[in-house]
Amino acid sequence: QVQLVESGGGSVQAGGSLRLSCAASGYTSSSNCMGWFRQAPGKEREGVASIDSYSRTTYADSVKGRFTISKDNAENTLFLQMDSLKPEDTAMYYCAAKFRSCRFYRMPGRSYYDYWGQGTQVTVSS
């Protein structure tokens, strides 16, 4: 059974940085497609960033130039480096995965992924 476990969330001031991690266990594959989503109170879950089997990345316009998604296939871990954080980045952050080969030309939606983590809270104060 695949498990995704996020970590690295916390509370920071605007302009600060956080690095989120998502560790995958159970059945995994180096051919994987992974992404980060976030959900603020009262809002729908939205895509933040994605990375495909060829390490091609896509980002939401709201985080371009500030967030960087990466992965370490040897360690089955996904990362999200978040810099220049803003109060509007406050949300629960979730990682998602599909273990098959894929090539992204645009960010996949929620329904694309098969597995989800439980989330890690990020709070940015002004």
Tokens of 49: 């960033």
Predicted local confidence at residue 32, as pLDDT: 87
Coil/strand/helix, residue 89: helix
Single out the residue of 33, 30, 68 nearest to residue 48, CA to CA: 68
| Positions of the chain with pLDDT lower than 50, given as ranges | none
73 SS3 class: helix
How far apart (Å, rounded) are the C-alpha atoms in residues 106 and 113? Answer: 14
Would you state the structure tokens that stand for residue 4, as one six-digit string?
């995704």
